[in-house]
Amino acid sequence: DGGITQSPKYLFRKEGQNVTLSCEQNLNHDAMYWYRQDPGQGLRLIYYSQIVNDFQKGDIAEGYSVSREKKESFPLTVTSAQKNPTAFYLCASSLTGTGDDGYTFGSGTRLTVV
């Protein structure tokens, strides 16, 4: 079955560490997105990529980095510069960069700083 896979489901990070969240899709979608979700704040866009080897900052990119070396993969690194990284992270993809057909979401990664 085609879909979008995020791993791990739960992740714990110590202060000062970088961690990388994985996002893989086998839908042959051109565009991929990373969102952060905090209680009562909806979804906030971190980064997005509409084509391989290209990506753009979203509304809250500070403290995060991404790469898009392959169409299927869009990993997100949460760096030590992110002051409050504890959140639920969602990855999504869409057939084209317009998103007219909507997004397909992964099941999310919950990151906790310990």
Partner 1 sequence: AQSVTQLDSHVSVSEGTPVLLRCNYSSSYSPSLFWYVQHPNKGLQLLLKYTSAATLVKGINGFEAEFKKSETSFHLTKPSAHMSDAAEYFCVVSLSGNTPLVFGKGTRLSVIA
Query: In angstroms, what is the minimal distance from the CB of 111 to partner 1?
Result: 13
- C-beta of 3 vs 70, nearer to partner 1: 3
Peptide bond into 75 cis (omega under 30): no
User: Site residues (CB under 8 A) for partner 1?
Assistant: 6, 33, 40-43, 45, 48, 50, 58, 88, 90, 92, 97-108, 110
Nearer of residues 43 and 52 to partner 1, judged by Cβ: 43
Choice between 15 and 100, CB closer to partner 1: 100
Exposed, middle or buried: residue 34 (CB in 10 Å: 0-12, 13-18, 19+)? buried
